[in-house]
Each structure stands twice: as C-alpha cells, then as structure tokens.
Amino acid sequence: MDKLKIVANGALNGEIVISGAKNAALPLMCAGLLSSGTLRLKNVPMLADVKTTQKLLQGMGARVLTDNISEFEINGSTVNNTCAPYDLVRTMRASILVLGPTLARFGKAQVSLPGGCAIGARPVDQHLKGLEAMGAEIVIEHGYVKASAPDGKLKGTRIHMDMVTVGGTENLLMAATLAEGTTILENCAVEPEIVDLAECLIKMGAKIQGVGTRTLTIEGVSELHGCEHSVIPDRIEAGTFLCAVAATGGKVLLRNAAPKTMEVVLDKLVQMGAVIEAGSDWISIDMQQRPKAIDLTVDVHPDFPTDMQAQFMAVNAIAEGESQITETIFENRFMHVPELNRMGANISVKGNTAMIVGVDKLSGANVMATDLRASASLIIAALVAEGETVINRIYHLDRGYENIEAKLGGVGAKIERIR
C-alpha cells in the first residue's frame, strides 16, 4: 500500500496549476446519463473517484472516452443497465448521484447504498424524500435503493429539503430536468459546484431559474442534448496549497484558480498574516511570518467549508496563540486530531469543538490518514515538522488530489511516494 514520505524543507516558492474540482466533476459525469447525446467535459481531474465514476457509467452501458489527461466524452445513448452495483458504489458516496438522472430518464433505477470516507453520517433520506414527492415509488432491499416511476415519468412538484444537502440538491435538480411539469426545490445548497452543474444542464437544454440561490425552479423538458463544458477549478485543492504556504512560509502563485468561489478561505488566511492577491483566474500568497491563530466555525456555503477544516487545524497547530475550530456539518470529522498530536500538536476536543494551542515546532512521525481532507492536514503538518514523516493509507488522498507530490515538489517540498 502506498505511503508518503515527507521531510521539512523550508519555505515553498513557485507556481502550482490547480486542477478541476472533484466535487463538480462527479455530478457532471452523472449528468451524462440524462441524454442520448455526447457530453464533453474538460478540465476533469484524473482522480480515483473520477475513474470509479467512469467504471460505474460504463457498467451501466454508457460510452465513456477519455484522453486520460483532463477530458471525457460521455454518451448515454447506449445505457442498458439501470443498476449501480455495490462493488463500485461502496467506495464512493457520490455514486448515489446516478439515482436521480437514471430514474428521470428511464423510469427506474437501482443503486446500492453508498460508502466513502468515514467522517460521519451522510444520509440519503432527503434524496429519497424528494424523489418520492415527484411520484417515485422507492423501497430499500438488501442494501439497494430500488426506485421506479409508475408511468415511467417523474412529476414536477414543490420540494422543501429539511436540511441543506449538496448531494440531495444535485440529485433532485438532475431528476427535475426531465420531470413532467415544474419542480420548485427549496432550501437548496448553493456551493459553486452546484452552480457549475446547473450551468452545464442549461447548456444541455434544461430550463432552470434561480441558479446560485436557495430556491431553484425547473421546468421539465422532454429530452436533453449533449454539450461541451469545462469543470470549475477546485477551490479545496487551492485552499490546501494556500494552507501549506501559510504553514511553511514562502511565496506561491496558483494558476487556473477561482478566487471568487473561496472568499471566506482567503479572508481567514489574511487574518493569519498572509498577503493575498488575486485576479480572475489566479491567486498569490506571500507568507513571511509565523501564522496567527484564528477561530473558525464550519457551516454550509457560503460560510467556511468543512472540507477545509482539517487543513486550517494543521496551520493553527503551529500558529502563534490559541484557537478554536467548531465543526457543525459532520459529527466525526476530528479523526485527524490524534494523528496531529502524535506529531507534537496540542489539540483537545470537546463535543464538536477542537481547542488548539499553537506550538513552536512539530516532530516527524508515522501517522495514518483517516479520510481525504485529514490526509491533506497531515501533509501540511509534515512540511514543517522536524525529521521525517511517513503518512500511511494515502489511498484517501488519491480520491481528491491530483499529482499532489509533483505539485508540492515543484515548489520545493521534499515529498515522495513509497511502498
């Protein structure tokens, strides 16, 4: 099993090109099931989850072609299987996103209950409740969601989601594009990745109003067609590299970034002492001091993203002062705390709040990645720790970061993949 070996090598300096967003690419790929035309996606990150989604779509009969660099062509005209099996779905929660488009287009779908990172309960009840409101009949048997539309078509309706859910918003949005009549989705998530999906669906012929707001109005159409769409830059990858520079010091320019999608993260970095500049598609960070400890509370977009909590905790661990981080999204997303403490951090947890006392230095150690973003926090800590750090179970990392060793190595990090 692959591991990462990291030895602190001082400040980071240079340029990094940001990949497309995983959390946008996966629902966009699933949107290919809505049409018999060809969906051409550019700026797709070549990640483990993307490759799993490719296998999933191919297993359903879709034609999926890729240049194995950044482009995919997905053609749904050959779909002949409406079942998403356990052996693929178990590794990735985003697999549930085939449910809405498959049910909407074919009138039936069977999807295994999903797996993924063990960061807490991420129930799919809002997905199912919304589809049932649109007329679907749903049963859960033997670990599978089995859904059908009585006369082959979902019906437009008003749906108020009981909680803000990214996946639920995406699934119901895709389903509503082919439903008969008008669907109004209330209490929607408003992440940039959802806006990206909606804009792609509009290119495919969907009629959607309210994009970027908590209420989406979708007038169903009889069919969608293919289109070409470029995946938005990954704001979480960009934020991770910015945190690495905040911890180590140095000056780095991020290219192919989207600063308007991550303003709250940039504001927090400025509070830590970073000098941030940005244009339409680039961000620069200049960090010439020890970071200042800051408090933060995780909440739904546009507030501070849960996917950046672990990375900021790693910076706070070596910052000047004391801080608190409160996690309101997932109840089990502090699993990186014991690993950071193994490296000499001073972090304690009470309920959903972590109390961090900044220390002067960390020490290299053997640590274990527990989930995707925890992996990134351990890399940041390792970049400033005295001695050698070995991070185990980095298969989590490969689900969400493309060529991270090469990108960090290119700006001066001593990092290598070992077995």
- Residue 262: its pLDDT value, please? 97
**Confidence band of 88 (pLDDT split at 50, 70, 90):** confident
pTM score: 0.95
Taking residues 39-63, report their average pLDDT: 96
Q: What is the 3-state secondary structure (H, E, C) of 208-241?
A: EECCCCCEEEEECCCCECCEEEECCECHHHHHHH
Tokens at residue 164, please? Answer: 């803000």
Q: Which of 30, 83, 117, 200 is flagged as catalytic?
A: 117
Average pLDDT along the chain = 95
Beta-carbon contacts of residue 198 (< 8 Å; ≥ 6 apart): 173, 206, 208, 211, 212, 216
Quote the tokens at residue 64. 């999926």
Beta bridge partners of 216: 185
Does residue 297 register a pLDDT over 60?
yes
Q: Please check whether residue 192 is in contact with residue 24, taking contact to mean a CB–CB distance below 8 angstroms.
A: yes
| pLDDT bracket for residue 118 (50, 70, 90) | very low
pLDDT at 74 over 90: yes
- Closest Cα to residue 137, out of 152, 122, 123, 124? 152
Q: Is the separation of the CB atoms in 3 and 417 below 8 Å? A: yes
pLDDT score, position 115: 54
Give just the sign of the alpha carbon dihedral 372, 374, 377, 378. negative
Among 296, 336, 381, which Cα is nearest to 117's?
336
CB atoms within 10 A of CB 115: 14
Whole-number pLDDT of residue 116:
44
Q: Tell whether the torsion through CA atoms of 235, 37, 171 and 331 is positive or negative.
A: negative
Looking at residues 262-287, what average pLDDT do you find? 98
Radius of gyration, alpha carbons of the chain: 21
158 membership: H or E segment, kind and range: strand 158-160
Q: Is 83 a catalytic residue?
A: no
Q: How confident is the model at residue 86 (pLDDT cuts 50, 70, 90)?
A: confident
Residue 105 has pLDDT above 70, yes or no: yes
d(CA 268, CA 316): 11
Rounded to an integer, the average pLDDT of 98-121 is 79
Q: Using one digit for the tens of pLDDT, what is the confidence trace for 372-417?
A: 899 999 999 999 999 999 999 998 898 899 999 999 999 999 999 9
- Residues facing residue 74 across a β-bridge: 39, 64
At residue 196, the pLDDT reads: 98
Which of 179, 231, 224, 176 minimizes the C-alpha distance to 202? 224
Q: Identify which of 185, 195, 186 has the alpha carbon closest to the alpha carbon of residue 218.
A: 185
Q: Which pLDDT value is given to residue 331?
A: 67
CB 232 within 8 A of CB 199: no
Of 384, 349, 379, nearest in space to 367 by CA? 379
Dump pLDDT digits (tens) for 57-67: 999 999 999 99
Tokens 């488009």, located at residue: 101
> How far is the CA of 200 from the CAs of 39, 101, 118, 166, 177, in angstroms?
9, 14, 30, 16, 12
Q: What is the DSSP string of 67-106?
A: -SSS-EEEEGGG----EE-HHHHTT-GGGGGGHHHHHHHH
- Give yes or no for a contact between 196 and 175, defined as CB atoms under 8 angstroms apart: no
- Tokens describing residue 48: 């483990």
Amino acid 170: pLDDT: 98
Which run of H or E residues covers position 83?
Answer: strand 83-84
CA distance 56 to 62: 9
129-148 average pLDDT score:
93
Q: Is pLDDT above 50 for 186?
A: yes
Dig out the tokens for 138 from the structure.
């749903």
Give the Cα separation of 254 and 292 in Å (integer): 22
